[in-house]
Chain A
Amino acid sequence: MVKRSIVLMLLLLSAVAPAAEAQNALVVSAWGGNWKDSLEKVVAKAFTAKTGIPVEFEVGGTIDRLAKARVAKGNPLVDVTFTTSHVGRLYISDGLIQPLDMSKIPNAKELAREAIRSEYHIGVWAYVYTVVYRPDLVKEDITKWSDLWKPSLKGKIAMPDFDPSHIITIAALMEGGNETTWEKGQKKLLELKPQIAAFFATDAQSQDLMKTGQAPVQVMLSVNAYHLIDQGIAVKLVQPTDFPGVIGIDTMTVMTGTKKAEAAYQFINMALAKDIQAELVKSLKASPTVIGTPVPANLQGQPGIFVSPAQWKEKAYIINDEVRAKNLPAWREWFTSNIVKK
């Protein structure tokens, strides 16, 4: 009986003790699934081997992680955050990330100019948003953005409901406008509505919709499309002939108030090393941001895989970051009320 009460006491004590966590781990906030897997395999493993510091990942969607960061402001729960270039501006305006001390990132010397998005966030890889479809379920060829409006594709399309930037910009471009004069594309977007079968909120959902065939045509990230191909689902990425794919640049940032700034800088620096960049290119099938990174011949020229950032402007459409960040709330609201809602 005495023994039993001691056991109980111990259990109570262990319960009260704060949750055991590798106290010196570097916590990296990034997207889940294949994104986290690549970062873990390519960057974290090399980082831990070199510094002995373990790496933990906090995964979630872009906006979800921003919300969590806002709530933890000043006392961040993560040290390094990977986020998209334009959402990075939202982190900046909320004071959540610190200006980067470039002297601590020597590998950034070879970083392409286009990849330095601001003094707070620098690009680590790039991809495009384009049309992706299953040729086995969609009998016709899709070659341009405007094909999405073809009556034969009615009820077959899916697109993200959390960031409509790409389709809004493309619709605006079609009507002679751009991301600043985006209202010009509203009528075209309303015409697109009946074509849409579903909206997805996460990468995993988009993949499910493609796998099950419920939405065999999607506006999708090139990296996710390649991931589907790796898993055995034959999808085709389009190099649209009317307007280019919309570029996406993912960036790295250091949180304000982090207690592991040194380790954070080392991690970021590691991700920009040429050999690591080359591995990331192969693992994600994305474009590097460091000049001179070798890109395998079989990947060159594929949608979303550019040899260097200089190609971004030639072969893709870059939405102005500041305009995008400023307009995002208005875009989301208009899109949700007019296109997503029944």
Chain B
Amino acid sequence: MMLKAIVAGLLAFMTLPTVVVIAVSVNPTAILSFPPSGFSLRWYENALTYPQFQRAAVNSLWVTVGSVALALPIGTAAALALERGRLRLPTLWATLLLSPLVVPGVAAGLGFLILAASLGMIRSRAVLIAAHVALVLPFVVRSVWVSVRNLDATLERAAASLGATPWRTFRRVTLPLLRPGLFAALLFAVVVSVNEFVVSLFISNRVTEILPVAMYSYVVNYTDPTIAAMSTLFITATFAVVWVADRFVGLGRVFLHHR
């Protein structure tokens, strides 16, 4: 059917650049050619031993772990409050919590830069982590909220009637039931934070910069395929994560409506 051909063609268009990147990453010379003129892992070696990338990878680890560790509890608490807090203006609060999604990256980045400068904190990692928490929070709230909405309160009431304290109920009943939403939240939060570029470009410097910013600097200064190697590593990791997520959570259920 023609539709199948068109769809296949479009999916090929979406995947083509990925294929090219992987092919170029194993090219033995610095000229970016496709198909590659040979096979060499020297660019992978270059990427993995480049001190700036190593430092940026460590920075990414700190920033992502720090911001996700903060955003998960904060977001979960917020989701519970939104659903069960009997708030007077629930849509207003929801919109506020989701608002960082609306703000252009350059606006948030410049704003945080000016804020950091006025606090004298330009070179600290704290502002970077705080910004990541704000950027990641909407994803966490949305994912957990879906699970909270589907939570059957009777189970929690049963636990309470059996003598469990509110905290014990939360830990032993509620949290496990929220697992799908928490898992999705963790997934989104990590992916968003690891790949965050524009805001981080503004508020990090040579010492604190995270991986995407370091890669950007490299692309601007060098023209060899080292970034192709880095990209391939990123792509492989991401494909694996997404595939696993689809197997376990069934991404179709997250994005599509089922009757």
Contacts and interface: CB of A to CB of B under 8 A. Distances in A.
Touch between chains A and B, by CB atoms below 8 Å:
yes
Interface of A: 1, 7-8, 11-12, 14-21, 32-33, 36, 56, 58-59, 202-204, 207-208, 211, 231-233
Interface in B124-156: 124-126, 129
Given A21-B207, A33-B221, A211-B31, 9 more contacts: A11-B65, A15-B129, A16-B124, A16-B126, A18-B123, A19-B205, A19-B208, A202-B221, A208-B223
A33 B223 CA distance: 8
Interface string B206-242: 1110000000010111111000000000000000000
Given A8-B70, A11-B69, A232-B29, A32 B222 contact: yes
B223 A15 contact: no
16 contacts: A8-B70, A11-B70, A16-B124, A17-B125, A19-B123, A19-B125, A19-B208, A32-B217, A32-B222, A33-B221, A33-B222, A36-B221, A204-B222, A208-B223, A232-B31, A233-B31
Contacts of A7: 69
Contact of A8 (B69, B123, B205, B217): B69
Interface string B167-197: 0000100000000000000000000000000
Nearest to B224: A231
Interface residues of B, number: 26
Nearest to A210: B223
Given A8-B70, A232-B30, A232-B31, A15 B221 contact: no
Contacts of B171: 1
Contacts of A231: 29-31, 223-224
A190 to B, nearest CB: 31
A242 to B, nearest CB: 31
A8 B67 CA distance: 10
A3 B246 CA distance: 32
A33 B69 CA distance: 37
A162 B217 CA distance: 19
Contact of B220 (A18, A19, A204): A204
In the complex, the 5 A-B pairs of residues with the closest C-beta atoms, listed nearest first: A32-B221, A231-B30, A19-B208, A15-B126, A15-B129
Contacts of B105: none
Nearest to A56: B206
Nearest to B68: A11
A8 B29 CA distance: 46
Nearest to B31: A232
Nearest to B130: A15
Given A8-B69, A14-B62, A207 B126 contact: no
- Most-contacted residue by chain A among B30, B126, B208, B223 (CB, 10 A): B223
B112 to A, nearest CB: 14
B100 interface: no
Nearest to B63: A15
A262 B223 CA distance: 35
A11 B31 contact: no
A211 B27 CA distance: 15
Contacts of B129: 15
B66 A211 contact: no
B124 A211 contact: no
Contacts of A20: 207
Nearest to A36: B221
Contacts of B223: 33, 204, 207-208, 211, 231
A18 B220 CA distance: 27
A21 B222 CA distance: 25
- Most-contacted residue by chain B among A1, A56, A204, A233 (CB, 10 A): A204
Given A202-B220, A232-B31, A14 B207 contact: no
Contacts of B208: 19
A63 to B, nearest CB: 15
A330 B72 CA distance: 55
Nearest to B222: A33
A19 B70 contact: no
Contact of A58 (B66, B70, B123, B206): B206
A8 B205 CA distance: 25
Contacts of B69: 7-8, 11
Contacts of A208: 223
A163 to B, nearest CB: 18
B81 interface: no
Interface string B53-76: 000000000100110011000000
Nearest to A77: B205
B110 interface: no
- Most-contacted residue by chain A among B32, B65, B221 (CB, 10 A): B221
Contacts of A232: 29-31
Contacts of A211: 31-32, 223
Contacts of A58: 206
Contacts of A17: 124-125
Contacts of A36: 221
Contacts of B205: 19
B67 to A, nearest CB: 9
A4 to B, nearest CB: 9
A56 B16 CA distance: 38
B49 to A, nearest CB: 13
A20 B231 CA distance: 27
